[in-house]
Amino acid sequence: MRSPAVRLANGRAAGFGLALGVFALDRGIKAFVAGPLDLQAVGLIKLLPFFDLRWTENYGVSYGMFTADSSETKLVLLAMTGLIACGVAVWMLREKVLGEIAALALVLGGALGNIYDRSTRGYVIDYADLHIGQWRPFLIFNLADAAITCGVLILLARSLLSREKPAEAADADNDTATETV
């Protein structure tokens, strides 16, 4: 049986592997839509009644906010997202709960995919257009965006649903347990 420290180290390694996998899959899909599909020239490919591939160049962050239209603002946005990705990586290294390591890995892998685009192209390639008729519950997005969103939702759900005892109550329980022994 492996020690908890070894399991945690293996969990962190698996988390970084998952982040690398998300990054690689995102890169592969973006290379496919930019290359063989030539979605930029085609503009739109209808796949399903509710899902299309549509070329979009996102010069900002989520929902097109903080649009970087000059080389200086592009650099600032790249640095800001890079710092956030570094913070997520450090959080992963310090995290002890495997479920949260997996969620952080999704966020990190997605962030790296979008950072790669922003650093090589100056914008992020978005292509996934989910819609019901003319109504779009989301803006056009990519796999990296979906991974970040899923990771954040998992972190929020785990945070809201976990019921940890306050430190004082846990100490009182421990005192009672040792007194009865």
What three-state secondary structure class fits 30? helix
Q: Which of 38, 126, 171, 175 is catalytic?
A: 126
Distance CA 180, CA 38 (A): 72
Q: Which of 26, 117, 129, 145 is catalytic?
A: 145
Question: Residue 133 to residues 43, 51, 78, 126, 137: CA-CA distances in angstroms?
Answer: 18, 10, 35, 20, 11
Sign of CA dihedral 158, 161, 162, 168: positive
Distance CA 171, CA 136 (A): 51
Q: Is 129 a catalytic residue?
A: no
Question: Which residues neighbour 82 within 8 Å (Cβ) at sequence distance 6 or greater?
Answer: 115
Question: Which residues neighbour 116 within 8 Å (Cβ) at sequence distance 6 or greater?
Answer: 23, 27
Distance CA 29, CA 125 (A): 10
Q: Is 126 a catalytic residue?
A: yes
- Annotated catalytic sites, by residue? 126, 145
